[in-house]
Structure 1
Amino acid sequence: MGAAVTAAVTVMTVPGCAFVFNRVEVVEDDSAVDAAFQRVLDSRAPARLGDVITQAGLPFGSWDRMYTFSSMVESDEINDKLGTDAYWTGLPGNSDGSVQVFVNGNEAVGAYYDTVPGHGVLGDDAYATPDSAATPTSEVEIDQVTQQPTTFWYIEIEEFS
């Protein structure tokens, strides 16, 4: 099943005035997101982040920045950092993974809960764009059991601040 990310604009009407607020539902990462990043990892070639997100089938349309937050983040913290006024639902509130938030202009347009393996930006004030490179990167570490070198691959996402 593909990831289902929804962002809805809800209009609340009060006689004599109307309030519009952005409702963003954070949904869980699923196999489609992991598979899109795994294809980049398997290719060992950089890919455009916007293309990877599109291949994952995330249905929130146009975005210009992606931010990474701890999964324990609260809605006020997201809104304060991004300058948004969204109503957030589905924030996981636990310590595993992270929340990837996608913004277009000053509006949050989608978010998903990113579990291991995670794919986000690392800096506190950093963000990625659709044109950011998602680059397969390797590190060699000594295996604690065999004492032999082992190569680990992961995706590094180009970030800006």
Structure 2
Amino acid sequence: MRAATSLLALVCGVVLADTCADSLSSHSYWRIDELVLKVYDWDNGGSTGTFGFKSYYSATNKTAECLAENVDLAKLGNTWSKCNEPGTEFQFNFKDISLALRETWICSGATFSANATGDMMLHGCLENDTEMGAESDCNVMEFEMAANVTSESAKAPPGHDHH
């Protein structure tokens, strides 16, 4: 099994967030490594396979492993699949060959959310001339994906009136 590598953000001069405010205002991004896309029954029109990757998100400085094995890849775009890091989820759209990520975290009582969608460029797989009976093992070409970050303000504790 070959694992392809894809970087979802090649951002020069990125400063990692030191505070919650920085998380909202910084240019956060996801970097994807060790991406795997295999379709086991492509030769007969199927979409059963495995999709997975490791993601690093700059705003939280966390790495998550995301994997869906032996599933109908065509259905991964209909619901959010959980990664091993709490608050991190993904969708894979098999028809458009695109990846959506979202992450939610709490910092100083405020809830932050980030999401992004990026198109993936495939090379050497899912083509009409794929050998019959062979698994289609994809190499994914590099692409960029910056995060869209939002937050919900923390509620002031009782007795703290802001005028």
Give the structure with the larger helix fraction: 1
Output the TM-score relative to the length of structure 1: 0.29
Find the structure with the greater CA-based Rg: 2
Output the TM-score relative to the length of structure 2: 0.29
